[in-house]
Structure 1
Amino acid sequence: MSRRRWRTLAAACAALLGVVYALVPVSIANAVGETSFRNPLVANGADPWLQYHNGNYYLAYTTWNNQLLMKKSPTLAGLSTAAAVNIWSDTEADRCCSHWAPEFHRLTGPNGTRWYYMYTSGRDGTLDFQHLHVLESAGDDPMGPYLYRGSPMPTTWNIDGSYLQLNGQLYLMWSEWESGDQSLWIAQMSNPWTITGSKVLISRPSLSWEIQGGRTEEGPVALQRNGKTYIVYSASSCNTPDYKLGMLTLTGSNPLSPASWTKSPNPVFQAANGVYGPGHNGFFTSPDGTENWIVYHGNASSTDGCGSTRSTRAQKFTWNADDTPNFGSPVSTSTNLAVPSGEQAATTTAVRGAAYRLVNRNSALCAAVAGSSTADGGNVSQQACSGAAAEWVLDSTADGYYRLINRGSNKALDVADCGTADGTNVRQWAWLNSNCQQWQVTSTSDGWFRLQSRSSDKMLDVNGCGTSTGTNIQLWTSLNNNCQQWRLQPVGTVAIASMQSGKVVDVANCATANGSNVQQWGYLGTACQKWTFTHTDSGYYRIVPTHATSSCLVVAGASTADGANVEQNACGGTNSQWRVEPLADGSVRLVARHSGRALDLAGCGLPNGTNVQQWSWLDNICQRFHLMPV
């Protein structure tokens, strides 16, 4: 029997089975992810800050250069392999260099709920001008894009900023020199980047364990429980193995009064179990909100200092009966730690990121949740390409695969019962950190792709190569036919952010004329930094700026040469058409149809105004981009 005849017979059987799916109860999916991990999470990860938000862990740490980075992963352990994405870079002389101690907080600011990314930086070649800076996200995504908002204290040396929210008021905490002591300070804020009123010194190094190698208190971070407020800070020099954590307790009513703060007489977290100099910490909660965790850096040797040997580590902590934290001791790198509670549990949440439609090559219909169901087990079939039920967020699992989260239901594309047989049904289910919910996106030809199940290596397939609305979608062995090929249609308006610089693709001066240059620029929220994708044929798209909708992103003169300029121009030829190709690290490359060359940052530049061009694929971050909904 020929493979096509066998395929047709099997498809008919699968169609009959589709009736059975409607008659029997939906079976329960099971989680199969890893249940433990070991520290460290990142080898060179000093001054870490980690948060869990809408289905992902987000991690930032000191870079020492002029770029700010972020990692994200649906699992804590996945942060080890997640790609480091530069979400910001700066070449301004007063803040270009030595980026330290990032923190990102979700606050209600003047523009609504936003992420505020605060960091320390200064001038090239010296650390004498380090001071705080604040970025604001354009929306509610920790990955950005971000706008620069300002420096709370631009003319003095100040580092390690963090926020305290208390009784409806926002405060800034930081570390600053005073009479030979590096001490802790606080001030009231009128918004997340502006202080108001007096700066108040609330604590200086005074105890023997705070002055090892230098008189130092730095890295303050707030911790609150049952109406009690603490500031946990790092003490002694980070160049020593005696770097450790101390704690202040708000025992008075006014956080701006030094008398309201009481210092614990002993350190609350210090070297143990082969971990030296543990400090500069942050706090986060487990995915289900039932556990509190500390993230910090530590060294593996007593002779390691304040450099690149400091690694990111995380562990759970508990509370004493009097509501004071019990951090215990740093755990050794040979200790297996249970993953945060809820990481393996069913999770339905609006994962942040760009959404796509999966359009079948054979039928031109989209993979969608039937009936716009929001229930676990909602069937996936091919439908008209409209509505949130036909939109999927492609979210990297940090190890070469993607999970596809439906925009209408916030549930994941799932292989029924983790089946491996041809004809196994595909449905939606709450995210379970399961291989049966992970997919590899593989290019075939032109702008077409296969989606391959991680659990079975079989392909996302339209039953019987049907072309009618409602035809079921399933798994099938690769047949290299059009029924198993899909194009990925970006949905809505996006910014195109460089993985190298964090800056976005921009039409110079927001000009509307054809021939206007295209460059990178820090995100400003202007229409000339926002783009839509319009399909032409064979999975290629015109990329249209929202301020000049009759023009497109074009390779000038239809050149096929490396270094050919990219500009805004008429949408006529194949030099105005691009393939959007998701890569294993969660980024995309944009490939010009006429030349096969990739969109590229000239010279891997970081400054505003760096030219955008085409270049042969070099497999570097200067040719990788992230589509960011704006």
Structure 2
Amino acid sequence: MTILRSITALLAAVVLAVTTAAPAAAATFTNPIKRNGPDPWMQYHNGYYYLATTTWNSTITMRKSRTLAGLASAADTVVFNLSGRPNGCCNMWAPEFHLINGRWYLYYVAGRNVPDYNPTQRLHVLESAGTDPMGPYTFKADLGSTWELDPSILRHNGKLYLMGSAIDGTQSLTITPLSNPYTISGPRRTISLPTLAWERQTGAVNEGAEALYHNGRVMIVYSASACWGPDYKLGLLTLTGSDPLNRAHWTKSPNPVFQRNDGNGVFAPGHNGFFKSPDGTEDWIVYHANSSASGGCDMNRSARAQKFGWNADGTPNFGTPVRLGTQLAAPSGE
């Protein structure tokens, strides 16, 4: 009986300790999620965050992590090597991977191995063998024969569109219809030129178009002004008509939606992407920025992430870019 009482008391003590223990600390992270990570693109898929950024060489790399915080120390894996390709071997920029019809399509910019490579930069796409964002990939197609940057995909009414940035008097946003993820099916159109003063700081530029969908609203968040200056920032287009190929059907917001914050030491925030939290309840933006006003358009830009909300009119509210090292709550569901 004494032994039984002792066992009972011990079990009661264990239960009490378990029920009164402090709750586990909420997961957090700090920016940057990748140093030397310009032009970031990230997706959460099957329990992992996947992140790809510009490499400025002949490789396309990706890193993955169970947590957002873990991306900062995760290893980069080469998912494709461009060496030997005649029209896109080198200087890989702005990779994005999109899951379309059960396969990942990885869009990127690359040019030739020549001293003045910038005029040779073109859009290209790879296709995955299955549903793993890290591949394996095979080369699928060249997408256009003229200079163009920053490929991304817009989906509207069951149709696919290739977005980019090309010269139309100055560097402007473009859109091209696709019959499938790798085949152009019509002429390229311009849908936005840098006409506003805040789009022309240091240089007149519209680039980095990224689709954003919310409550039936179709939007494009894009980067404006020169990436080699501190005033690179984000603007917003909203589809107010029915045809994404028609410039008149897009309405440009008069003011930027995300920009430098000197007090937080954040300059030239731009070239963004979007991803959902693991439980699907939160919207997040990933972007690059510099930590000084003298920062350039180079590999020193770092990749950063933060949660955003929505305004009453259905437009995104990105808030203020946070200071590096600020502890932030991790995405919901981690």
Q: TM-score, normalised by structure 1?
A: 0.48
Q: Any residues of structure 2 matched to 1:186-585 within 5 Å, and which?
A: 186-272=175-261, 273-343=264-334
Q: Which runs of 4+ in 1 moved over 2 A?
A: 30-34
Give distance in 2, aligned partners of 1:136 and 1:34. 38
**Partner of 1:66 in structure 2?**
58
In the TM superposition, what is the alpha-carbon distance from 1:34 to its structure 2 partner?
6.0
The amino acid of 1:336's aligned partner reads Q
Contact 2:209/2:222 (8 A) holds in 1:
yes
Q: 2:6: which partner in 1? A: none
Structure 2 residue runs without a partner (length 5+): 1-17
Select which of 88, 101, 105 maps to 1:95: 88
Of residues 134, 159, 163, the one that matches 2:153 is 163
Amino acid at match of 1:102: P
Alignment partners' CA distance in 2, 1:195 and 1:255: 15
The structural deviation recorded for 1:333 is 1.3
Shift of 1:127: 1.0
Q: For residue 78 of structure 1, give the secondary structure of its aligned residue in structure 2.
A: helix
Aligned residue among 36, 41, 51 for 1:44: 36
Provide the aligned length of Structure 1 versus Structure 2. 310
SS at match of 1:259: helix
Is the partner of 1:209 in helix, strand or coil? Answer: helix
- CA–CA separation in structure 2 for the residues paired with 1:184 and 1:147: 28
Amino acid at match of 1:58: Y
The sequence identity of aligned pairs, in percent, is 57
Q: 1:297 to 1:31 in 2, by over 3 A?
A: farther
1:69-100 CA-to-partner distances (Å, cap 9, x unmatched) read 00000000100111100100112131011000
Measured in 1, the distance between the counterparts of 2:287 and 2:73 equals 18
1:508-540 CA-to-partner distances (Å, cap 9, x unmatched) read: xxxxxxxxxxxxxxxxxxxxxxxxxxxxxxxxx
SS of residue matched to 1:254: coil
Cα-Cα RMSD: 1.5
By relative contact order (CA 8 Å, sep 6+), the higher-ranking structure is: 2
Query: 1:240 and 1:278 mapped to 2: Cα distance?
Result: 10
What is the distance in 1 between the residues matched to 2:228 and 2:25? 38
Does residue 107 in structure 1 map to residue 97 in structure 2? Answer: no
Confirm whether residue 121 of structure 1 aligns to residue 110 of structure 2: yes
TM-score scaled by length of structure 2: 0.91
Q: Which amino acid aligns with 2:258?
A: F
Residue 320 of structure 2: SS of its match in structure 1?
A: coil
Q: Aligned partners of 1:294 and 1:62: how far apart in 2?
A: 17
Per-residue CA deviation, residues 145-176 of structure 1 (Å, 9 max, x unaligned), is 001100121x2001100000111001111000
Give the 3-state SS of the residue equivalent to 2:74 in structure 1. coil
For residues 115 and 66 of structure 1, what CA distance do their matches in structure 2 show? 20
Contact 2:32 2:325 in 1 (8 A): no
Letter in 2 for 1:67: T
Which of 71, 74, 86 is the matching residue for 1:82?
74
Distance 1:236 1:130 in 2: 20
Q: Please, which of 169, 172, 177 is the counterpart of residue 183 of structure 1?
A: 172
